[in-house]
Chain A
Amino acid sequence: MSEEYINKKIVVKNATKIFGKSSSRAIQMLKEGKSKSEILKATGATVGVKQVSFDVNEGEIFVIMGLSGSGKSTLVRLLNRLIDPTMGQILLDGKDIVQMNKEQLRDVRRKKIGMVFQNFALFPHKTIVENTEYGLEIQGVSKKERNEKAVESLRLVGLAGYEDQYPKQLSGGMQQRVGLARALANNPDILLMDEAFSALDPLIRKDMQNELLQLHHDMQKTIIFITHDLDEALRIGDRIALMKDGEIVQIGSPEEILMSPSNEYVERFVEDVDLSKVLTAGHIMKKADTVKIDRGPRVALRLMKQLGISSIYVVDNANRLLGAVTAQDTLGAIESEKTLNDVLISDLPMILPDTVLTELFDVVSTANIPVAVINEDQKMQGIIIRGALIGALSGDNDFINKDGTMDSTEQHTEVK
């Protein structure tokens, strides 16, 4: 194993799959840089996956996303050679599986890679526990041991007690849990999940995503997750590879994909994403102008005049939010010799930075002054003004902070 592969669980180099005859001519054209449709026209061969290279880190959830026909399902099948690549290298822990003979490949499939399928692919003639222990059964593991492992695996996915039922007796969500348990029972390092949740209805799908994240957190498997659903990709992916016409168009973290699409295709792909569910208060908050409570009403009023605002937030010495004062009240306080404390409005709407925008609408629309964003320690993080909320929803990047926070030292470069 050479240096560069340390911590790289999977390295794919130039993987290509061409379906159909005359693939040698197609390869030639591919090397000349011809497009998929040109090759189809000239040779009749379909390029399923076109010179794809990427690597997956150990313990990462790597999402491959694309529309149907983009080659993502073919690509994932290259990884365990359910489909043989036409050319290229696929290294698992530094070993090229393309070069493996049948026996070595079988061993990799048995020990290293588990797979979960879109339509569950449970064996209808076997009970749940028999399905789960299938991978162990074909390895010749003793009946007792494989039963123990299968039962444990079913417990992990929350299906204890269903061992002796048949797949048909379970709902879709439960069937896919069996699919997951079956893949986990072998204790593989890598899980391939081919549109695993796409056949489930939205609520169940969300539950399954959460559970997958929990399982991933507990077990630290490397997961390759295929989906056509951007929301799903953004939710669970550590990194996302976006595919189009058999090629990877962009690889990056969900933030990078969303905030700096590398080309028009990615942009069009992400423009449909429901931003209100992805962006958080942290993404759209602006720097707050505050006044310390012991500075008194005159300072507060002066600040408001300078900034041209009609109200200002009041914090204590530790930058903890106490409340806000309006210009009118502050003026009154100066005239009647009162302190800021006397005119402080303390029942302000306050939210945490990771609140998603959908949950903000109500608060922002009813508030008279900008909504304060605070952290768990009551410290002032920023404010949200209506204009920024609407601007961000329209996809205007000027209103969006790239990394979802607004670090005080970098805020001006972050907020473009």
Chain B
Amino acid sequence: MDELLPRLPFADWIDTGVDWLVDTFGTGLDGFADVLEGVVEGSVDILDLVPSILLAFIFALIAGIISTRKIAFFSLIGLLFIDYLGYWFPMLQMLTLVLTSVMFALVIGIPVGILGSQKAGVRKVVNPILDLMQTMPAFVYLIPAIFFFNIGVVPGVVASVIFAMPPTIRLTMLGIQQVPKDLIEATEAFGSTTWQRLFKIQIPLAKPTIMAGVNQSIMLALSMVVIASMVGAPGLGEEVYRSVTQLKTGVGVETGLSIVIVAIILDRVTQYAGNRKKKLGGNTL
């Protein structure tokens, strides 16, 4: 059998391809990686200058402005609890990593989603890629990321961006496509340009759905940080990873709980941001 059908050297092809990419674009990407690393670590350092209790209050205040007092109160208690456990700095590192990844995911994902909602051709290309991105085991992204960016913050961010982007793209497309046909007809009948239709009607109406996608992206980015710690991304994930390798149940629970608290805060706040408009009587048909 072996002679008849030799093993397909698919892995070799991929390796050759990645090597070529690294050789060709590696130097350019190094510059990008340095900047990204500088920004992330710089942000963490700046945040760390602020006393933790004051920062917890500031975060709670922001949560309160976007959502409700109840959520703000929970945020404050939760953050102080993390501080009290002694994971304040890793928490800041993780938060910065997550928010940076999500920012990249949105900056790329929302325009791609909008484009996909308008052109069936784009959808045909994008959808299978998204399927691949979502079903490929997350660890696999880490391997080429290391080749490109070494270990540390940057491969973590890159892997998180890839992993977190699909829901934003998908739900942006879905939200825009779900705007009722008669509203589209109405904007057309009054002589809107494509741009006006998109920005005055479709995107505002799709906002709750898009925000649901953003919320999902944040959650996925959070779930990625533990995995990213395997390539040296710092933060709470790193602590979890260490507790696993050293079989320390107590530390594992403490750090795991801290991640859960951050996750709940981010989830509630972003969910609220998406649904806010509904209270005014607008939206959903």
The residues of A with any CB-CB pair to B shorter than 8 Å are: 80, 82, 105-110, 113-115, 117-119, 121-126, 134-135, 137-139, 165-166, 168-169, 182, 186, 192
Contacts and interface: CB of A to CB of B under 8 A. Distances in A.
B6 interface: no
Contact of B186 (A105, A113, A121, A168): A121
A365 to B, nearest CB: 48
Contact of A115 (B186, B193, B205): B186
A166 B191 contact: no
| Interface SS of B by simple majority | helix
B277 interface: yes
B178 interface: no
B285 interface: yes
Interface string B149-185: 0000000000000000000000000000000101101
Contacts, number: 72
B140 interface: no
Given A82-B188, A124-B205, A134-B200, 4 more contacts: A107-B191, A113-B189, A114-B189, A114-B190
A125 B205 contact: yes
Contacts of A117: 182, 185-186
Q: What are the 6 A-B residue pairs with the smallest beta carbon separation, nearest first?
A: A110-B191, A109-B191, A121-B186, A166-B281, A115-B189, A121-B182
B205 to A, nearest CB: 6
B280 A138 contact: no
A195 B74 CA distance: 52
A24 B165 CA distance: 44
B191 A106 contact: yes
Contacts of B191: 105-110, 135, 138-139
A115 B281 CA distance: 25
B186 to A, nearest CB: 4
A182 B193 CA distance: 18
B282 to A, nearest CB: 4
A115 B192 CA distance: 13
Contacts of B285: 124
A283 to B, nearest CB: 40
B284 interface: yes
B284 A138 contact: no
Contacts of B183: 121, 123
Contacts of A137: 200
